Structure formats: C-alpha cells, structure tokens
Amino acid sequence: MDNPMDGAVEIMKKGGTLLGEKCPRCGGVQMKYKGRVICITEDNLSENLKTSKISDDATLSNLRDIVIEKLDIVSNSLSKENDVSKQAILVDLLQKYVLLLKDCENSNQNTKTSDKTTN
Ligand SMILES: [Zn+2]
C-alpha cells in the first residue's frame, strides 16, 4: 500500500469515516476509525488495519449476540404465525440467521487449534 488513498479506501470499507476537519499538523485528510482519529498522510494506515483484528473479534461476538436475539424474536413470531406464506418468510429468515451464527462460530474456531489427529 504505497498510495495512502488505498489505505483510506480500505478503512472506509471497514466502517471508517472521512472527517471534515483537516489534520492540524499537516493539513492532510483525517479519518475516524474504531473511535480513533487517523491522519491519512502521517499515520500508517495498513498498520491501523492490522491492529483492528482484536476489535473485529469483538464485532463478531457482538454480531453473534444480535443474531441470537433475532433468532429468539423470529422463532417467537413463527410460533404465533398462522399464515403459511408468512411462516415461509420467517423460516427463510431463521435459516439465514442460523447460517450466520455458524459462520461466526467457525471464525471463532479458527483461532483455536483443535486436535483432530487423535481419532
Ligand atoms: Zn497529519
């Protein structure tokens, strides 16, 4: 990443926002990312992206909590729903949530090294 704008684009993809105010030191463009203000000309953007790994895990567990909550709400509505076509929509939604939940759990497992060799 030689071009600082490439890093800026990466940060924006990950939820960073461009700030209207210029950097007080160099007049460069500033961004807000994970609660921190980053100057795109002075700060090492790729370094900032790397250190965000820990926060990504937190985001993932947040997402997991949200999905579990939604699963609960949707399954409650499903139990009360008599309309078959609405049930179909709810079931579809539940399937998507379950898949998302599995994805979250898979990503968590990637960090733990399971010993499958002891079969
Ligand atoms: Zn600056």
Strands of 29-33's sheet, edge to edge?
17-22, 29-33, 36-39
78 and 40 fall within a common domain: no
Same domain, 35 and 14: yes
Residue 106 in this model has a pLDDT that exceeds 70: yes
| Gap from CA of 110 to ligand 1 centroid (Å) | 37
Confidence of residue 30 (pLDDT cuts 50, 70, 90): very high
Residues 38 and 82 both lie in one domain: no
Backbone angles phi, psi at 42, to 5 degrees: -100, -35
Distance from Cα 22 to the centre of ligand 1, integer Å: 8
Within-domain flag for 92: yes
Residue 44 Cα, ligand 1 centroid: separation in angstroms? 11
Mean pLDDT of 26-53: 81
Is residue 42 located within the same domain as residue 63?
no
Statement to judge: residues 66 and 42 lie in one domain: no
Average pLDDT over residues 33-56: 76
Domain total in the chain: 2
Domain-located, residue 117: no
Distance 87 CA to ligand 1 centre (A): 54
Domain containing 67: what range? Answer: 54-108
